[in-house]
């Protein structure tokens, strides 16, 4: 059953709750827009290991951008190159049109929130927040005002004279946030900022961070391995793999139109069926897979041709599961038996086993409190889907 739990699909994002202004925020689609951050053919090698390879990425002002990927994909290295803790082996990192190469971290107008928070243990909350302002030689009264403002922002005023060790994990996280925001950086870098928080607090904090980013009008670049977190918060996501970017796009694009099997599998739950392209007509292909025939869309610009191996990727919530055979059981329909059932409250996940042994995952939303005839184990079912429910990708 554990495999089922992991395969829980991401509910399709319905856009952000921040109104129409936010929904139309898409500077990356505007060719006239100048990016705030640019990685230009950036590589970083540690000995013989290439952490980042010839990577290009542009991030725009006021964007909430997420670097998403598994451990060791180079996302933290990318962040650290922007902060100045690592120098690129080759390529250029630019901020606001100026190169950052060779500029030490203490001279860069970006601030970072560390995964471990890295709060100064010998300083009070107040002194921690004030630290960056002091380095700039800001006047004492101005500093005090800014610290007060920051502590108010993160609701930590009653704890101003405590030491970090006297705070809870969530409070420490907010001190780290206040400290990294105090200098009003051009870009805030967040390295797995919520990793140490429990699930409930993490979800609350995600929304707090989004509101903060909106109200301060800052550019946020966050590193995370949690796709749910990336999808919740980010305007755009860069899915990374082995030092390269596998896909950049809005959460919707990455989820609904993954550019590769890797992206499809990394972001959300997915069913993968391998087969061969039997026929291609425009953006529609006919794919023969063991146990059936699939007709589905290919992404724009796909080079799949007749005879080439391909996979069909479809999200579990886009499969319909029913007892009765569809009208045309020859195409986009598979017969199987219910192998596992996971009731999750808001939805139920079914693992259906095809005659060939493949498992297909289907999710149904439990819109009603009780179903008249719930599907049971080992029941014979039909799994069907629309031609635009999934995508055909190169193997």
Partner 1 sequence: MSADVAEPAGAPAARPAPEPAGPERIADSASFRRLVVGLPFVWLLLLFLVPFLLVLKISLSTLALGQPPYEPVFPLAEIASFGERLRELSFENYLFLTDDPLYLDSLISSLVTASVSTVLALLVAYPFALGLARAPERLRPMLLVLTILPFWTSFLIRVYAWMGILRNEGFLNQLLLWLGLIDQPLVILNTNTAVLIGIVYSYLPFMVLPIYASLERQDPRLLEAAADLGSPPARAFWQVTFPLSLPGVLAGCLLVFIPAVGEFVIPDLLGGSETLMIGKTLWNEFFINRDWPVASAVAVVLLVLLVGPLLLLQRARGSAGAGAL
- Residues found near partner 1 in the complex (CB under 8 A): 46-47, 49, 51, 69-77, 80, 83-86, 104-108, 110-112, 114-116, 118-122, 131-132, 135-136, 179-180, 183, 191-192, 195-196, 225-226
Query: How far apart (Å, rounded) are the C-alpha atoms in residues 148 and 129?
Result: 9
Instruction: Identify how many contiguous H helices and E strands the chain contains and give both numbers.
Output: 10, 20
Give dist(CA 218, CA 206) in Å, integer: 15
Q: Which is nearer to partner 1, 68 or 259 (CB)?
A: 68
Which CB, 21 or 139, lies closer to partner 1? 139
Residue 86 Cβ vs partner 1, minimum distance, rounded to whole Å: 7
Q: Which two structure tokens, joined as six digits, stand for 176?
A: 């780290």
CB of 370 to partner 1, least distance (A): 34
Task: Find the shortest distance in angstroms from Cβ 268 to partner 1.
Answer: 17
Q: Specify the length of the chain in residues.
A: 395
* Sheet with 333-343, side-by-side order of all strands: 320-322, 380-384, 333-343, 347-353, 359-365
CB nearer partner 1, residue 70 or residue 355: 70
CB of 229 to partner 1, least distance (A): 10
**Close Cβ partners of 135 (under 8 Å, ≥ 6 residues apart):** 106
* CB-based contact 312:305 (threshold 8 Å): no
Beta strands in the chain (DSSP E): 37-46, 49-59, 64-68, 90-95, 98-99, 110-113, 187-191, 219-224, 236-241, 244-249, 271-281, 284-289, 292-297, 309-314, 320-322, 333-343, 347-353, 359-365, 380-384, 390-394
- Smallest separation (angstroms) from partner 1 to the CB of 46: 5
Rg (Cα) of the chain, in Å, rounded? 24
Q: Minimum distance between the CB of residue 242 and partner 1, rounded to whole angstroms?
A: 12
Nearer to partner 1, 121 or 301 (CB): 121
Place of tokens 């329909």: 333
Min dist CB 4 to partner 1, Å, is 18
How far is Cα 310 from Cα 173, in angstroms, rounded to an integer? Answer: 45
Q: Decide whether 71 or 215 has the Cβ nearer to partner 1.
A: 71
Indicate the residue among 139 and 327 with the shorter CB distance to partner 1: 139
Taking the least distance from each CB to partner 1, the nearer of 182 and 311 is 182
Closest approach of partner 1 to the CB of residue 359, in Å: 24
- CA-based angle 43:252:73, to the nearest 5? 25
| Choice between 74 and 269, CB closer to partner 1 | 74
């Amino acid at each position: 059953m554990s495999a089922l739990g992991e395969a829980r699909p991401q509910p399709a994002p319905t856009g952000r709750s921040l109104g129409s202004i936010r929904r139309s925020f898409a500077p990356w689609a505007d060719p006239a827009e100048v990016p705030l951050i640019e990685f230009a053919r950036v590589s970083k090698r540690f000995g013989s290991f290439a952490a980042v390879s010839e990577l290009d990425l542009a991030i725009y002002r006021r964007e909430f951008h997420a670097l998403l990927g598994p451990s060791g994909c180079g996302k933290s290295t990318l962040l650290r190159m922007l902060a100045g803790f690592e120098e690129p082996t080759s390529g250029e990192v630019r901020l606001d049109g100026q190169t950052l190469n060779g500029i030490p971290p203490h001279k860069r107008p970006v601030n970072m929130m560390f995964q471990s928070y890295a709060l100064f243990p010998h300083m009070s909350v107040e002194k921690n927040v004030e630290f960056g302002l002091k380095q700039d030689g800001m006047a004492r009264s101005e500093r005090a005002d800014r610290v007060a403002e920051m502590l108010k922002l993160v609701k930590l005023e009653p704890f101003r004279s405590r030491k970090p060790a006297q705070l809870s994990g969530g409070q420490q996280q907010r001190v780290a946030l206040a400290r990294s925001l105090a200098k009003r950086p051009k870009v805030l870098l967040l390295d797995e900022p919520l990793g140490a928080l429990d699930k409930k607090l993490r979800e609350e904090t995600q929304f707090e961070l989004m509101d903060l980013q909106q109200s301060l009008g800052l550019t946020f670049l966050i590193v995370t391995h949690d796709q749910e977190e990336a999808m919740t918060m980010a305007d755009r996501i860069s899915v990374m793999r082995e030092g390269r970017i596998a896909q950049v796009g809005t959460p919707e694009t990455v989820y609904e139109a993954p550019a590769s099997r890797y992206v499809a599998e990394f972001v959300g739950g997915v069913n993968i069926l391998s087969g061969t392209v039997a026929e291609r007509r425009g953006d529609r292909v006919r794919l023969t897979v063991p146990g059936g025939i699939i007709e589905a869309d290919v992404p724009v610009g796909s080079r799949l041709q007749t005879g080439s191996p391909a996979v069909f990727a479809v999200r579990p919530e886009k499969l319909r599961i029913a007892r009765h055979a569809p009208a045309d059981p020859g195409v986009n329909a598979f017969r199987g038996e219910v192998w596992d059932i996971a009731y999750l409250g808001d939805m139920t996940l079914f693992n259906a086993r095809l005659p060939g042994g493949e498992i297909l995952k289907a999710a149904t939303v439990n819109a009603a409190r009780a179903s008249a005839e719930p599907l049971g184990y080992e029941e014979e079912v039909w799994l069907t889907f629309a031609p635009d429910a999934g995508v055909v990708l190169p193997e």
